[in-house]
Amino acid sequence: MAQLVVRELENDVKARLQRRARQHGRSMEDEVRNILRQAVATERRVVRKLGSRIAERFREHGLTSDLPELSGQAARPAAFDAPPPPSRRDS
């Protein structure tokens, strides 16, 4: 098994680690191992892309097909059915 030496750890961080270890009934070394295991365990999670998360959220509201990919296209204003309001020059 590997060993890790942490230098220049602030005294207050060490004190909080000791307090946390006592609260969990572990040695400080075991507490640090547990913290490190939890920290790297989150790396294994697969982060779903935004479009997939949006589709899942709105599926119950009738969104059942994939949305078209729009990357690389120029932005354009939204088109609404109502005619645009008259400009001040038209009044």
Identify whether the C-beta of residue 51 lies closer than 8 Å to the C-beta of residue 65.
Answer: no
63 near 55, Cβ under 8 Å?
yes
Tell me the CA end-to-end span of the chain in Å, nearest whole number: 82
* pTM > 0.75: yes or no: no
Contact 34, 26 (CB under 8 A): yes
User: What DSSP character marks residue 29?
Assistant: H
Q: Mind listing the pLDDT tens digit of every residue in the chain (91 residues)?
A: 899 999 999 999 999 999 999 999 999 999 999 999 988 886 667 778 887 888 888 888 877 676 677 778 787 788 787 776 676 655 4
